[in-house]
Amino acid sequence: MSVVRQLLVSQLTAIELPPPALIVAAAESECAAAGIRMIPVVPGGAAYPLMGDAPLMRETLRAIADTGVTVSDLEIAILTPITDVARFRPFLEAGGRIGARHVLVTGYDPDERRLTATFAALCDEAAPFGLTADLEFLPWSNVPDLAAAISIVGAAARPNAGVLIDPLHFARSDSRVEDVARVPRDWLHYWQICDAPRERPDTVEGLLHAARAERLYPGEGGLDLVPLLRAMPSDLPISVEIPKAELARTVPGRERVRMAADATRAFLGRMA
């Protein structure tokens, strides 16, 4: 019997769409939920700070009510040596108001003990709002691979802590499919999907560009997606994260969301 996998839409797939439009695009693409980037990755980067924009918050709540599409995850809590997690409270409160379930977290602190403590504190801040904190490993960060993420989440020992697996970062960090079995099931809340060329960029700039601007639809590239797909729980929601900056020059965001969702479903169907 084939498994029906719940699809979500990542903000990065159509970064230019504000939350209400992304939620509508998700509904049109028959996706159950959408992620919202409320804090930029870099200063001045694209983001939709609902915590400080009352009209946009009202429009977002209306889109949720009208479509039935929910909010899966909030982006992005970046932890550094000087992070004060209390400053995330308005972000978390806004997430609770829109019914979000997860916070995407990245770590940029070379002191693993301090990073672990900060991550644990963020988990504690997020818990009252019904949010998990999901640590994503990135090859250029201080959580460079799955093993590092497992170590930090395990040491943090918080019930709402999780690990987020993105196949692009999984491949570029030389993480092993065998290590997925080391991740407790209750640490996995959702995961992401995309494809990319097999060749690994040889600079950080190349890694960043590939991750943030140009990915491929599942099955179109050289990532070894099938073993990872089989290693992940079959009932785990999948966030479609496929930015295509070049395509975005000519194809509107709502159409790109549909294309990404359709391509992902076709890939999953072939693997069923």
Residue carrying the six token digits 């996998």? 5
Which domains occur in the chain, in start order? 7-271 (3.20.20.150)
Q: How many CA atoms does the CB half-sphere of 252 hold within 13 Å?
A: 6
Going by C-alpha positions, the residue among 161, 140, 139 that lies closest to residue 151 is 161
Alpha-carbon distance of 237 to 176, in angstroms, equals: 21
Residue 179 CB coordination number (10 Å): 15
Residue 150 CB coordination number (10 Å): 21
Q: Which pLDDT belongs to residue 3?
A: 61
Q: Which pLDDT belongs to residue 2?
A: 53
The alpha carbon torsion through 205, 237, 54, 58 (nearest 10 deg) reads 140
Q: Which pLDDT belongs to residue 165?
A: 98
Inter-residue contact 98 to 60 (CB < 8 Å): yes
Q: What is the pLDDT along the chain (272 residues), one digit of tens a residue?
A: 356 689 999 999 999 999 999 999 999 999 999 999 999 999 899 999 999 999 999 999 999 999 999 999 999 999 999 999 999 999 999 999 999 999 999 999 999 999 999 999 999 999 999 999 999 999 999 999 999 999 999 999 999 999 999 999 999 999 999 999 999 999 999 999 999 999 999 899 999 999 999 999 999 999 999 999 999 999 999 999 999 999 999 999 999 999 999 999 999 998 86
